[in-house]
Amino acid sequence: MSAPRLPQRMATAGRPRNAWEVQRAVVFALLQREMKARVGGQWIGAVWTLFEPLSHVLVLVAMFTLFVNRQAPVAGVEYAVFLVTGMLPYFLFQNLANRLMDGIEANRGLFAYRQVKPLDTLVARAVVEALMNMVVYAFTLGLLGWLGFHVLPTGPLELISVQCVMFCLGVAYGLLCAVLTNRRPRVKTFVKLLMMPLYLLSGVVFPVDFAPPDVLHWLLLNPLLHLVELSRHAFITAYVPLAQVNWHYPTMFTLAMAAAALLLYRVERNRLMTS
């Protein structure tokens, strides 16, 4: 009489896990920890986590639309939609950069466990920020649609592509800043202050097509400007982005920055865990 066969899950429970399975389990655990830390374990924490960035966007939209007297369309786009389609992609980049830059220091105590690597903590933070941005995006567009604005993107695949490139750029920049500021924490203040001029120079609040050609040439070196323009074009087909805007430059810039960030992380990975 043959012995009964064990269920597949029980039969493989004792086998050692490979590196991919270990890292996946670590990232999932860190993701749960990050979500709990952001939410606070209570429903009011979840509401506040979503309300804080949403209120930021809505206050800026109301301020520029009502108090700055910009009810008129900008480049053929309703000004509220113009703002939102620029702010939300930019805030994804900004939040990723700031959160990832502080991620290593915030999770340094976890590096005592040999399975946890600095990159794992940053991946978990990046996923949380991406999920939050998606929810805030949906709530903001839903509210604007309820108020009567045109909020359905005419190029949804193009919009998703823009968000993916913006996400990768934010992760690459955040990882680079996290490694560079590890031994020089005071540089973090400068990096965060740099976000304000970037906010203005990326065409988020005002269109930059009025700039002189010589100035516009330098502004177009900013990959965020390309992505913000492409984001607006994905929402409104009639919106004509700057003639020099393209996909190639921000994509190659992102790949180059990601390569530099990963190379620097590879060199500094042991110091990141011990310093």
Whether the per-residue pLDDT at 15 is higher than 60: the answer is yes
pLDDT tens readout for residues 142-178: 888 888 877 788 888 999 999 999 999 999 999 999 9
Confidence of residue 6 (pLDDT cuts 50, 70, 90): very low
Quote the CA–CA distance of 35 and 28 in Å, as a whole number: 11
6 part of a folded domain = no
Helix, strand or coil, per DSSP, at residue 3: coil
2 part of a folded domain = no
Amino acid present at 251: T
Helix, strand or coil, per DSSP, at residue 78: coil
pLDDT at 45: 66
Output Rg (C-alpha) for the chain, integer angstroms. 22
Domain count, the chain: 1
Residue pair 88/137 in contact by the 8 Å Cβ criterion: yes
pLDDT tens readout for residues 205-258: 888 888 888 888 899 999 999 999 999 888 887 788 888 899 999 999 999 999
Confidence of residue 99 (pLDDT cuts 50, 70, 90): very high
pLDDT at 172: 96
Q: What is the mean pLDDT of the chain?
A: 83
State pTM to two decimals: 0.86
7 part of a folded domain = no
205 part of a folded domain = yes
94 part of a folded domain = yes
169 part of a folded domain = yes
Residue pair 111/265 in contact by the 8 Å Cβ criterion: no
Whether the per-residue pLDDT at 9 is higher than 50: the answer is no
Q: Which domain holds residue 58?
A: 18-274
Per-residue burial over 180-218, b if 16 or more Cβ lie within 10 Å, else e, is bbbeeeeebeebeeeeeebbebbbbbbbbeebeeeeeee
Percent of the chain past pLDDT 70, that is, above it, reads 86
22 part of a folded domain = yes
Confidence of residue 34 (pLDDT cuts 50, 70, 90): confident
Confidence of residue 67 (pLDDT cuts 50, 70, 90): low
Q: Cite the DSSP H helix spans in the chain.
A: 8-11, 19-39, 43-62, 79-101, 103-106, 118-146, 156-180, 187-201, 213-219, 223-235, 248-274
68 part of a folded domain = yes
